[in-house]
A = this chain, B = another copy of it.
């Protein structure tokens, strides 16, 4: 038997990347899994290079980032790749989740739920990572979001002080956020392996949502090269952005060092959190807003159990597709609203969009599925 099939380590690689039976019809939407692995590797490598020059001390953090961009050989490139790499990480993961929703891949429940765990870890990492440059938006964004914990009844304010390590976002907060930002990615690595173990129990889904066991092709060379092509496209876009327009997705306020005495007029997170931020601000009550914020991500965990259709994929279900694209439009509107100040007409639009977001997941998908089942007489 070939070495790659019997060696204890090589056979793991063989079964995942060479001989893995894969459906013959998976489209470009299936590239995002491997792209996410690439993002993770890129972020870890650029991140480790950045930590070799970053200073996690409150008085010197901001200056150390400027030092990296100006004095360290190719530091500007490493920093640009890391910051924009984070944005691309979220682009890929949102498209990956969208693929899972439209093609019903969430029916592989363990894979889906481990994926939600990875999303939560990624959001935590991005949140603490954004604090590290210690700009105005870093400091105030951290203050706003960590203060949300005080909404917890009875122990709230105490928990906030415990997270801060003091009475405000200060030196202790920065050092522990640096610590979290450094080691949580390794948890993502471990979780990714678990995600893949579960995926390889069932094998990949495909656009038709039908059993593909009669038409499988080996991962290598078909999807190894397809993924490689995806990598090339990814790097093209990432380097185009990092080299020509590295600050396109950044907030200009973060070029000012953090100042606890000056509050910026518009505190908002990076674009990938704006939809959740809009949902948070839609609810008048603080605790209600926090619960809605958490629910906006945790609703993904409910999706497998709300699947009503007799078909796995939405490919042959035009009404569900309509609901899906309404969801995408709703998230886009929420992202836009999250970047707007809390004024007329954005407040009302945000509330309508938030209600729509939850009702699409909890009601309209199920309704569309029921109607499609009935029409196609699939009961």
Contacts and interface: CB of A to CB of B under 8 A. Distances in A.
B179 A48 contact: yes
Interface in A173-208: 175-176, 178-179, 182-183, 186, 189, 194, 197-198, 201
B51 A198 contact: no
> Which of A55, A60, A182, A198 has the most chain B CB atoms inside 10 A of its CB?
A55
A340 interface: no
B8 A51 contact: no
Contacts of A197: 8-9
Given A9-B197, A197-B8, A198-B8, A182 B51 contact: yes
Interface string A336-362: 000000000000000000000000000
Interface size class of A (residues with CB under 8 A): 20 to 34
A186 B190 CA distance: 10
A165 B60 contact: no
A180 to B, nearest CB: 8
A8 B186 CA distance: 21
Contact of A54 (B53, B110, B175, B186): B175
Contact of A55 (B57, B183, B194, B201): B57
7 contacts: A8-B197, A9-B198, A51-B175, A51-B176, A54-B56, A182-B182, A182-B183
Interface of A: 8-9, 48, 51-57, 59-60, 110, 165, 171-172, 175-176, 178-179, 182-183, 186, 189, 194, 197-198, 201
Ranked 4 nearest A-B pairs via Cβ:
A52-B176, A57-B57, A51-B179, A56-B56
